[in-house]
Copies of this chain bind each other. A is one copy, B any other.
Amino acid sequence: MNIDQLETPVPVIDLDRVERNLAKMQAYCDQHGLKLRPHIKTHKLPQFALRQLALGAGGITCQKLGEAEVMADAGVTDILLSYPMIGPIKAARLAALAKRVSMRVVVDNPVALETVASAARQAGAEIGVLVEFDSGGKRTGVVTVDEALALAQAIIATDGLRFDGLMTYPSSAETARFVAAAKQRLGGEGIEIRIVSGGGTPNVWHQHEIEGLTELRVGTYIYHDRATVGAGVAALDDCALHLHATVVSRPTENRAIIDAGSKSLSSDRVAPSVGEGYGLILEYPDAIIERLNEEHGILDLTHSARKPAIGERVRIVPNHVCVVTNLHDEVVTSRNGLVEATLPVAARGRTR
């Protein structure tokens, strides 16, 4: 079937572009001696995680236990959980995972560390632990080297835990400064930092310039999107996921409505320097998706010389592709404009 015959709205993935994006990133990491540990949050598909591993990735990254469980069920054997976990239910689930696959986790505080320690006790299996630090992103992560040292010492002192190193997101010039200071301080206490894990697609081709980085966690590069194109790390032709939609109404000369709203595209924006609205319409790049309701995308056609007709199909490059795949139960894969398969997004919606 031609992809233009699919019922809309529907996310359609070009497999040739996926392969090209995966190969390029693996080659970059190989060239610079970085271990690639792709973040599966972008695609949420076991099929693509296994493909990333086959191409040379050294394990995967998941954000939540539910994602890791899906990937372990699919045969992935080396998983980093890059998110602090708290409480007995998480500990029990982490223990069950650690019994069957190699698990690493991240902590930035003693309460999360106690959850991991409890998991290791229950599992009777070793769990690797990285300490997360803040490189200026002001999200999770310790902000001082002293805190990193205290956590590393606590990890080393805990049965069943192995201190592996440091993690941060996104990695930046600030990362190198923290790592250098941490190596000196922890080294002075006889503690080795074997792994320094960084990440983030928007700055990816400069990651090898960050002194001390050993591992790269990236997700968006598999599909790319309007944000990563805007950041200059990919071209529009690298975008492997398009949301196909249909014009369902043209109430006025300069207004069109498409059948893709926030339930299909999400409400995520891009920086004003990258573009206006909620996605880029390939056929009408001067049209602006100016508002979204759940099922309505409202287009301003004022600056578009051509105007789409009712019933016409359009392809949209999403602002932020990771949140788009989370909204759809299924994605369609294609090659040369022909449908290859419909895949359930197996790790979609795993918020826990």
Q: Which residues of A contact B (CB under 8 A)?
A: 7-10, 41, 63-64, 83-87, 89-90, 108-109, 111-112, 134, 138-143, 246-252, 255, 257, 259-260, 262-264, 266-269, 291, 293-296, 298, 310-311, 322-323, 326-329, 349, 351-352
Least distance between A325 CB and chain B CB atoms (Å): 11
- Residues of B near A262 (CB, < 8 A) are 266, 268, 323
- Residues of B near A142 (CB, < 8 A) are 251
Cβ–Cβ contact B349 & A323, under 8 A: no
Given the complex of chains A and B, what is the CA–CA distance between A329 and B294 in angstroms? 17
Least distance between A345 CB and chain B CB atoms (Å): 10
Closest 6 CB pairs of A and B: A267-B267, A111-B310, A140-B249, A7-B89, A84-B248, A63-B295
Known: A327-B349, A327-B351. 8 other contacts (CB 8 A): A7-B352, A63-B294, A112-B310, A138-B251, A140-B257, A263-B323, A263-B326, A326-B327
Cβ–Cβ contact A295 & B83, under 8 A: yes
Given the complex of chains A and B, what is the CA–CA distance between A268 and B268 in angstroms? 8
Cβ–Cβ contact B294 & A109, under 8 A: no
Cβ–Cβ contact B266 & A267, under 8 A: yes
- Residues of B near A85 (CB, < 8 A) are 248
- Residues of B near A251 (CB, < 8 A) are 108, 134, 138-143
Cβ–Cβ contact A296 & B249, under 8 A: no
Interface centre among A134, A247, A263 (most CB of B within 10 A): A263
- Residues of B near A264 (CB, < 8 A) are 351
Copies of this subunit: 2
Given the complex of chains A and B, what is the CA–CA distance between A252 and B133 in angstroms? 12
Cβ–Cβ contact B87 & A246, under 8 A: yes
Given the complex of chains A and B, what is the CA–CA distance between A7 and B88 in angstroms? 9
Cβ–Cβ contact A323 & B298, under 8 A: no
- Residues of B near A41 (CB, < 8 A) are 294
Least distance between A268 CB and chain B CB atoms (Å): 5
- Residues of B near A89 (CB, < 8 A) are 7
- Residues of B near A8 (CB, < 8 A) are 352
Cβ–Cβ contact A139 & B252, under 8 A: no
Identify the closest chain B residue to A109 (Cβ): B310
Contact of A293 among B139, B252, B310, B352 (CB under 8 A): B139
Given the complex of chains A and B, what is the CA–CA distance between A322 and B140 in angstroms? 29
**In the complex with contacts A9-B351, A248-B85, A249-B108, A296-B139 CB distance below 8 A:** yes
Cβ–Cβ contact A138 & B298, under 8 A: yes
Q: Can you list 26 contacts pairing A with B, beta carbon distance less than 8 Å?
A: A7-B352, A10-B352, A83-B248, A83-B259, A83-B295, A85-B248, A86-B248, A86-B311, A109-B250, A109-B310, A111-B311, A138-B251, A139-B257, A139-B296, A139-B298, A140-B249, A140-B251, A262-B268, A262-B323, A263-B323, A263-B349, A267-B268, A267-B323, A295-B351, A327-B327, A328-B351
